[in-house]
Amino acid sequence: MKKTVFVGALTAATFGAGMVHAQTTLETIQNRGELICGSNTGQAGFGAPDSNGVWQGFDVGFCRALGAAVLNDPNAVTFVPLTSQTRFSALASGEVDVLARNTTWTFVRDVDLNLTFVGTNYYDGQGFMVTRELGVSSALELDGATVCIETGTTTELNLADYFRVNNMSYEPVPVDTAAEAQQQYLAGACDVYTTDVSALASSRAAFAEPGDHAILPEVISKEPLGPVVRHGDDQWADIVQWTLFALIAAEELGVTSANMEELKAGGNNPEINRLLGVEGGFGEMLGLDNDWAARAIAAVGNYGELFSSTIGDQTPIGLARGLNAQWTQGGLLYAPPFR
Amino acid sequence: MSSTTDPRAAESAPPKRAFHPSMLLYDQRYRSITIQIFALFLLMLGAAWLIDNVINNLRLLGRTFSFNFLSQSAGYDINQRPIEYNSQMTHGRAALVGFLNTVILAVMGCALATILGVLAGVLRLSKNWIVSRLVTVYVEVFRNIPTLIWILIFGAVMAESMPAPSAFRGDDPASSMIFDAIAITNRGVYVPAILFTTELGVLPLGPVSPSLNWVLVLAVLVAGIFANKVLIDHATRVQNATGIRPKTWWKSLLVLFGPVILIFLALGAHLEYPELRGFNFVGGTHLRNSLLAMWLGLGIYTGAFIAEIVRGGILAISKGQTEAAFALGLQPGKTMRLVILPQALRVIIPPLISQYLNLTKNTSLGLAVGYMDLRSTLGGITINQTGRELEGMLLLMAVYLAISLTISGLMNVYNSRVKLKER
Amino acid sequence: MSDTHAQTVAYVRNEMLPPADPPLRESGAVKWLRENLFSGALNTALTLAALAIIWYALAAIGPWLLNSVWSAGSLAECRAILDGTSGACFSVITDRWHQLLFGFYPPQHYWRPVLTLALLFAALAPVLFPALPRKMMIFSATYPFLAYHLLWGGSVWLPVSAALGFVAGYLAYVILARVSTLVAVFAAILAPVFWWLFAAGPFDQALSSVMPFGLEFVRSDRFGGFLISLIIGISGISLSLPIGIVLALGRQSDMVFIKSVCVIVIEFIRGVPLITLLFTASLLLNYFLPPGTTFDLILRVIIMVTLFASAYMAEVIRGGLAALPKGQYEAADALGLNYWKAQRLIIMPQALKISIPGIVNTFIGLFKDTTLVVFIGLLDPIGLSNAIRADTNWNGIYWELFIFIAALFFIFCFGMSRYSMYLERKLKTDHK
């Protein structure tokens, strides 16, 4: 009996006996006054708590933009750390509203697992890092090597395919977390560390002697990483999708957190006006108010600002824009028009 | 309730009294049936509710309940493969590999834990001050820190403190192999493997196909043990009849090892030594870091518990037994072997079983150091890649339950055999 | 007397010699060494081996520990200070100790978990020390609600209205007990249920709007570190005790169906690893609950851990029941006590007393097992150590974190096990 009351009390206190499906995700979030965002358990640059327990990073920034758009408060976001194993169930069960946790968009996940990938916020690819001492310059010279790999991710499957296709053998050393993988790699327990190139770069940046390590030129897979929502709530999917597009479009249109107010007051670029809610009434179509995108941009800046403040070359992570540059700059970022 | 009579009157009422509904509650003969039917009803209601929820949820998620994923291609590699496996084989096959890895680890762990535990348990009672203190420190330190931390620590020790294979390279290597046969590296320990020149083929047993050579060796070994038992029984009979025990040790040695050695010679057994080639050592048997970390972590941790059990078992035997044995003129060693241990064993075995069970269940922590056991393959990567949490988890639980029940069943049989037979 | 003898027999010494010192090898440190360390070849070898082990351990760890850095801001700074020498970098602990202990609990509220832990001892005192006045049990009974409020905060009326459910049940029992025990028992079960389902919510809301007292609300996801291990461990063990008693009694029952259900439940839970139950909590629970129901992960973990501990608790209590002499049961029957009265007044008090060391051991085991929650993404100390290493400042640090975490667990578990041994000695009343 003691248990019952505890259950009752705690349930009521934390989430209420919430019947999520009775209302839309947007209503649930607005009633709750809080956006719950599934994040990494800790990956430098993309999502990790700092010493004050405040989550920081690129994926975290996207959630904050979403929080600003939906709830008018970038800090009304709760981050639930999820492992690669628990992430999809947490989303499916409604434990989190959106998953922003470098998750690769794949067919099976999109179709069979009933998830909705709303876009790509980081174009990545799987690569290899080796110590320079090893004298390897191409992944094709890795026959017989010991490879550290994070288990439960798509990288594991890509790796198996790559070595099989190229008729090479390898010895996988599966590890649970990125921190563990780096530890093993640095200790020399594996010759090669493979994961997304962005994560390789962020790991290398944190090493004592980054110059001793080389990232091999081969990129063996496409890893479009992006936010994910549940299947079946199109309104919420639209909001998440267009918040992402708003950040990307803002960079393309030259809207930054600094000049936004100015542009909002008196701009004559119709697309900027529509983006910032001066005309068009797009926010209301989404079920929000017209300032939604302006708030998102004010909270974390446009895509470029978010990138450079969390993972860009000014940060210890030091990633170049590469594929993640605007399409006008030779990258892949291409937001549909706000029209 | 108004129709109820005084309960005690109902109990003592003559049986011929006509049945009355209130007797279902107040008559001891019927009450337990009422309660049980009520409980059954509640249970079925609960089960129906759960199943209904599952069906509803699956429908909402647009999924079916099916184990078909087990026959799909797995797509991932497993480093430790007791049976043939590659990434093109099915998820079911991967789960089988994981299961075998779990069993290997559990058997190795139990063996190490037993040896360590018995040693430490006896040594903790030693009169040697420094030894007993040291063993006490071992027992307390290992017992009071979670096994997961130990596994992680051993994993770190293996990876951080051992030399990399590259240290063995060059004309003046920083490290060298022990006896030119064993290489301890930060990727695991490489030991020589036994190979045969004559291969007899494999024994096709469905999914598992063990090498006939090893099956033969094992069969001969079991036969040898059996023959040895016959020999010893015979010696005991002779001793009972004549009072003189015939010397059997050389016969035992011959029966136990002779045939095995002969088989090895006949099949052309030889050792294959590991050697450094390319990135890694090649050849020999590779005991991976993950296996060693799990083995040492679980074995030493559980050993500390077994030490306490053994110590308790020995202390539980009253001092009179030792004194009686001394009075009979038995030497201390024989006293331990013939008088104390057989009795202590009865106290030791039941808690020992639960330690074995704990160890086996703790093998499921393998993922922490990347050991590909059942939980990392079926319960980890497979579930993750296919999204079949419900089916995968149920299967995983069923397998663990089967393993646990088998162990406790076997050990209970053994326990009832060594139990004190009171007449 | 001595005089006469001295005169009569000249060659007999007439006074005692002063006792000679024992030979050097039979006294003092030498004797102790000889008897304890070098009494034979085997013993000498063991001693030397033990000394060698101690020496190697000290030589490997000692300098590293002694040369530790406590005040750097990052691992890179540590490396700069150490300047190539080997040494520990405990600065990570000084930088992040609060996270390892409290997770992300708001720092200005750290007093709340600390006070909760302190009050826990006060609540346990009357249970552990029978000499204390029985009135203190009232505090023990209110402690769970108090602890909930202290840790989570929010409106004070929520735990109050929850607690009132028990009061309602008790009152219903007392009032109706005169009519019929059976009716009273039913009422005692139904009254709280009705209270919680229908009255508790409005009561809470009404009082909260009139008198909004209460501490600041702290969400579950702020919990972490050692705090989360303690919460899961302590609530798991205290909630599992009643369930364990019921399961143990059920397993001893004469009713075949009840007995087999209890056996199946106990054996099933003991037969699967805790980690599969935790995965059930994190991955599968949404399959088994009505669509769309979701609640706090910590709570789900507590439920699963409680189930897990109940099975072990049931076996511990079954051991206590089995250890009770049969005469106690027969005496209770002879007094004409019915089943429940016999259990309540005669059997359980004794059986529980016998089981206390087992219960403490189960708790230690459970407490250590809380580290497994790291696999489902809760940030317990091990989970936090991963998160800390994901920070660019501390990327690559390892031993220092594990030493700290291991020391925390060791202090706690070692203390508990000593206490359990003390209890075992104290409770040895020897019925024989």
- Residue B117: what pLDDT? 93
- Residue A2: what pLDDT? 40
- Residue A6: what pLDDT? 42
Query: Residue C300's domain is classified under what CATH number?
Result: 1.10.3720.10
Chain A contact for B164, CB < 8 A?
yes
Q: Provide the shortest C-alpha distance from residue A253 to chain B (in Å).
A: 39
- Render pLDDT for B221-268 as a digit per residue (tens, 0 to 9): 899 888 888 888 888 888 888 878 777 788 888 888 888 888 888 887
Three-state DSSP state, B250? helix
pLDDT category at A4 given cuts 50, 70, 90 is very low
Backbone angles phi, psi at C317, to 5 degrees: -70, -35
Q: Provide the shortest C-alpha distance from residue B381 to chain A (in Å).
A: 5
Q: Provide the shortest C-alpha distance from residue B367 to chain A (in Å).
A: 7
| Residue of C103, C222, C396 lying closest to A206 (CB–CB) | C396
Chain B contact for C339, CB < 8 A?
no
Kindly determine whether residue C383 and residue A92, on different chains, have CB atoms separated by under 8 Å: no
- Residue B148: what pLDDT? 92
Q: Provide the shortest C-alpha distance from residue C265 to chain A (in Å).
A: 18
Tell me, yes or no, whether C383 lies in a domain: yes
Q: Is the pLDDT of residue B8 over 70?
A: no
Tell me, yes or no, whether C345 lies in a domain: yes
Angle between helices C91-102 and C75-82 (to 10 degrees): 150
First and final CA of chain B: distance in angstroms? 54
Q: Of A153, A169, A184, A193, which to mutate for an interface test with B (greatest number of B Cβ within 10 Å)?
A: A184
- Which residues lie below 8 Å from residue B39, measured CB to CB, with a gap of 6+? C257, C258, C261
Domains of chain A from N-terminus onward: 25-123+225-329 (3.40.190.10), 124-222 (3.40.190.10)
pLDDT category at C257 given cuts 50, 70, 90 is confident
Q: What percent of chain C has pLDDT over 90?
A: 5
Q: Provide the shortest C-alpha distance from residue C201 to chain A (in Å).
A: 9
In the stretch 93-152 of chain B, residues with CB closer than 8 A to chain C read 123, 126-131, 134, 140-141, 143-149, 152
Q: Is the pLDDT of residue C97 over 70?
A: yes
Whether residue C179 is found in the same domain as residue C226: no
In the stretch 275-334 of chain C, residues with CB closer than 8 A to chain A read 282-286, 290-297, 299, 302-303, 306
Kindly determine whether residue C271 and residue B389, on different chains, have CB atoms separated by under 8 Å: no
Q: Which of C173, C188, C215 is the last residue of a domain?
A: C215
Whether residue C260 is found in the same domain as residue C322: yes
Q: What is the mean pLDDT of residues A179-208?
A: 84
- Render pLDDT for B25-73 as a digit per residue (tens, 0 to 9): 666 677 778 878 888 888 899 999 988 888 888 887 777 888 888 888 8
DSSP string, C174-189: HHHTTT-HHHHHHHHH
Whether residue C372 is found in the same domain as residue C392: yes
Kindly determine whether residue B63 and residue A114, on different chains, have CB atoms separated by under 8 Å: yes
The one-character DSSP state at B26 is H
Whether residue C49 is found in the same domain as residue C158: no
Q: Is the pLDDT of residue A243 over 90?
A: yes
Q: What is the mean pLDDT of chain A?
A: 84
Whether residue C318 is found in the same domain as residue C407: yes
Q: What percent of chain C has pLDDT over 70?
A: 94
Q: Is the pLDDT of residue A296 over 50?
A: yes
Count of residues making up chain A: 339
Chain A contact for B385, CB < 8 A?
yes
Q: Is the pLDDT of residue B283 over 70?
A: yes
Q: What is the mean pLDDT of residues A194-209?
A: 82
Q: Is the pLDDT of residue B11 over 60?
A: no
Q: What is the 3-state secondary structure (H, E, C) of chain A?
A: CHHHHHHHHHHHHHCCCCEHHHCCHHHHHHHHCCEEEEECCCECCCEEECCCCCEECHHHHHHHHHHHHHHCCCCCEEEEECCCCCHHHHHHCCCCCEECCCCECCHHHHHCCCEEECCCCEEECEEEEEEHHHCCCCHHHCCCEEEEEECCCHHHHHHHHHHHHCCCCEEEEEECCHHHHHHHHHCCCCCEEEEEHHHHHHHHHHCCCHHHEEECCCCCCCEEECCEEECCCHHHHHHHHHHHHHHHHHHHHCCCCCCHHHHHHCCCCHHHHHHCCCCCCHHHHHCCCCCHHHHHHHHHCCHHHHHHHHCCCCCCCCCCCHHHCEHHHCCCECCCCCC
Q: How many domains does chain C have?
A: 3
Q: Is the pLDDT of residue A193 over 90?
A: yes
- Residue B24: what pLDDT? 64
Q: Is the pLDDT of residue B4 over 70?
A: no
pLDDT category at A94 given cuts 50, 70, 90 is confident
- Residue B422: what pLDDT? 56
Q: Provide the shortest C-alpha distance from residue C331 to chain B (in Å).
A: 20
Q: Provide the shortest C-alpha distance from residue C158 to chain B (in Å).
A: 28
pLDDT category at C4 given cuts 50, 70, 90 is low
Whether residue C334 is found in the same domain as residue C393: yes
Evaluate whether C266 touches C318 at the Cβ level (below 8 Å). Answer: no
Tell me, yes or no, whether C173 lies in a domain: yes
- Render pLDDT for B84-122 as a digit per residue (tens, 0 to 9): 888 888 898 899 999 999 999 999 999 999 999 998 988
Chain C contact for B70, CB < 8 A?
no
Q: Of A83, A112, A131, A149, which to mutate for an interface test with B (greatest number of B Cβ within 10 Å)?
A: A112
Q: Which of C166, C188, C215 is the last residue of a domain?
A: C215
Chain C contact for B406, CB < 8 A?
no
Domain that residue C42 falls in: 28-67
- Render pLDDT for A113-131 as a digit per residue (tens, 0 to 9): 778 999 998 998 899 999 9
Whether residue C250 is found in the same domain as residue C332: yes
- Render pLDDT for B364-376 as a digit per residue (tens, 0 to 9): 998 888 888 998 8
Whether residue C319 is found in the same domain as residue C371: yes
Per the model's pLDDT, the better-predicted residue between C220 and C128 turns out to be C220
- Residue A194: what pLDDT? 92
- Residue B307: what pLDDT? 93
In the stretch 33-52 of chain B, residues with CB closer than 8 A to chain C read 35-36, 39-40, 43, 50
Tell me, yes or no, whether C73 lies in a domain: no
Cite the DSSP H helix spans in B180-267: 212-242, 249-267
Q: What is the mean pLDDT of residues A310-328?
A: 85
The one-character DSSP state at C87 is -
Kindly determine whether residue C396 and residue A208, on different chains, have CB atoms separated by under 8 Å: yes
Chain C contact for A318, CB < 8 A?
no
Most confident of A8-22, A204-218, C388-402: A204-218
In the stretch 106-165 of chain A, residues with CB closer than 8 A to chain C read none
- Render pLDDT for B401-417 as a digit per residue (tens, 0 to 9): 999 999 888 878 887 87
Q: Is the pLDDT of residue A8 over 70?
A: no
- Residue A11: what pLDDT? 44
Chain A contact for C387, CB < 8 A?
yes
- Residue A239: what pLDDT? 92
Q: Of B148, B300, B315, B355, which to mutate for an interface test with C (greatest number of C Cβ within 10 Å)?
A: B148
- Residue C429: what pLDDT? 61
CA–CA gap between residue A247 and residue B335 (Å, rounded): 82
Kindly determine whether residue B128 and residue C46, on different chains, have CB atoms separated by under 8 Å: yes
Kindly determine whether residue B58 and residue C287, on different chains, have CB atoms separated by under 8 Å: yes
Q: What is the mean pLDDT of residues A299-322?
A: 86
CA–CA gap between residue C325 and residue C431 (Å, rounded): 8
Kindly determine whether residue A93 and residue C389, on different chains, have CB atoms separated by under 8 Å: no
Q: What is the mean pLDDT of residues B268-287?
A: 80
Q: Of B1, B124, B149, which to mutate for an interface test with C (greatest number of C Cβ within 10 Å)?
A: B149
With b meaning 16 or more CB within 10 Å and e meaning fewer, what string describes B46-67? eeeeeeebbeebeeebebeeee
Per the model's pLDDT, the better-predicted residue between C414 and C389 turns out to be C414
- Residue A7: what pLDDT? 43
Q: What percent of chain B has pLDDT over 90?
A: 19
Whether residue C176 is found in the same domain as residue C248: no
Chain C contact for A55, CB < 8 A?
no
Q: What is the mean pLDDT of residues C208-233?
A: 82
pLDDT category at C355 given cuts 50, 70, 90 is confident
Q: Is the pLDDT of residue C391 over 70?
A: yes
Q: What is the mean pLDDT of residues C162-182?
A: 79
What is the pTM (predicted TM-score) of this model?
0.84
Query: According to CATH, what is the number of the domain B65-83+95-165+288-401+414-422?
Result: 1.10.3720.10
Whether residue C236 is found in the same domain as residue C169: no
- Render pLDDT for A133-164 as a digit per residue (tens, 0 to 9): 888 888 888 888 889 998 877 888 899 999 99
Q: What percent of chain A has pLDDT over 70?
A: 94
Whether residue C194 is found in the same domain as residue C278: no
Q: What is the mean pLDDT of residues A255-262?
A: 88
Q: Is the pLDDT of residue C6 over 60?
A: no
Tell me, yes or no, whether C283 lies in a domain: yes
- Residue C431: what pLDDT? 47
pLDDT category at B399 given cuts 50, 70, 90 is very high
| Residue of B39, B53, B58 lying closest to C290 (CB–CB) | B53
Per the model's pLDDT, the better-predicted residue between C175 and B171 turns out to be C175
